[in-house]
Amino acid sequence: MESYETIESRMREKYKEITGCDVDLGSDIGIKIKLLAGEIFNLQSSIDWIGNQLFPQSATGEQLDLHARLRGLTRKAPTAAGGQLTFTLDAPAQSRIVIPAITICSTVGKNPVKFATAAELTINVGQQQISGEAFCVTRGADGNVGANTVTVINTTVGSGLTVTNPAAMTGGSDREDDESLRRRIIEDISTPSTGTNKAYYKGLAESVNGVYSANVVPRIRGNGTVNVYIAGRGAVLGSTYINRVQSLMNSGRELNVSVRVYAATLSNVAVSLTLTVKSGYEFEDVKAEVEEKIREYFASLQVGQSVYVSSLSAAISSVQGVEKFNFKSASQNDVAAAYSQLLTAGTITIDQG
């Protein structure tokens, strides 16, 4: 698309070609050329925008939602992370202690992530500990906090009581972004569902809020069987999501077909490289951006999708300021994923070249 300056310059040159006179930019003709060039630029911008929205490969926002609806797909809503909270007394209880439902606990720091107990919990006389389900009070990926990070009790429930989360909180996801929705649309176009093929079961699983990807393995337990392995965006999913997808499969499966849903297993992949930055760039700044790009690449992987050095190299090369880089021996080969695996970023080591 032409820039405004290019359009205006071309109009002034054409005026000079026809009249033999330069345009005085402050004259009536000069002002009219500026106004007309602006309107032509706006028209070209609108045409360019419309052209992009015609195809799911380049459409964005609400227009991408319309492409999705044509395929029977919708953008997935954000979900809240959840997991187990364990409350512990410093000594066995001398009397019954009730921890109400919606007791608020949080992480520490300036922006604590808050969780609420899903149901009332009771520590009976002689007991010292109780565990129960909890969910993040806000939806989004920020709720996926690590193990033993929820350590503050915000609601008054009695003295001598501490809290922690023995395992990481999982299942939180942001509202589905354009790239994820675009991937599902293009997959649906390139491998249409027939109601009986892998694409059908994959589409069912990935239609559930919080499920980023699924891998479908037919006949793994013999004829008439299907296994479905699901995961969040770079994260494992808990029993709530397994049950939700399983219920959907039970109602949507073919006759005489046994479908079982499992959580994908995570496998960390270490990345080690030396990095040389261009003149004028700070190494630490470029290093941080490269690490972020590496994590974004791993977060985009689906269940059963392998890590390719070429794709990882493309992600690193996209960072401004990268002069060159070399993978160390352990990171020079592609990493194949098993059908039930989700490869995630492990330790990332970036040394200055």
Computed over every residue of the chain, the mean pLDDT equals 94
Q: Is 144 helix (H, G, I), strand (E, B) or coil?
A: coil
List, for residues 176-185, the tens digit of each pLDDT value: 999 999 999 9
- Evaluated on CA atoms 66, 67, 73, 74, the torsion sign reads negative
DSSP 56: T
CATH topology of domain 191-263: GMP Synthetase; Chain A, domain 3 (3.30.300)
What's residue 196's pLDDT? 84
**pLDDT bucket at 156, cuts 50 / 70 / 90:** confident
List, for residues 289-306, the tens digit of each pLDDT value: 999 999 999 999 999 999
What's residue 278's pLDDT? 95
Question: Does 158 or 220 have the greater pLDDT score?
Answer: 220
Question: What is the layout of strands, in order, in the sheet containing 152-153?
Answer: 152-153, 104-106, 114-117, 129-136, 82-89, 161-164
Q: Is 326 helix (H, G, I), strand (E, B) or coil?
A: strand
List, for residues 186-220, the tens digit of each pLDDT value: 999 998 888 889 999 999 999 999 999 999 999 99
What's the mean pLDDT in 10-35? 91
DSSP H/E element including 77: none
**pLDDT bucket at 25, cuts 50 / 70 / 90:** confident
List, for residues 134-143, the tens digit of each pLDDT value: 999 999 999 9
What's residue 309's pLDDT? 95
What's residue 262's pLDDT? 97
List, for residues 63-104, the tens digit of each pLDDT value: 999 999 999 999 999 999 999 999 999 999 999 999 999 999
DSSP 138: S
List, for residues 255-282, the tens digit of each pLDDT value: 899 999 999 999 999 999 999 999 999 9
Q: Phi, psi at residue 34, to the nearest 5°?
A: -60, -45
Tell me the whole-structure pTM to 2 decimals. 0.79
- Using alpha carbons, select from 188, 176, 215 the residue that is nearest to residue 56: 188
- Evaluated on CA atoms 8, 9, 14, 15, the torsion sign reads positive
DSSP H/E element including 116: strand 114-117
Is residue 330 predicted with pLDDT exceeding 80?
no
Please state the domain extents for the chain: 4-53, 82-164, 191-263, 266-352
What's residue 192's pLDDT? 87
Q: Report percent pLDDT > 90 for the chain.
A: 88
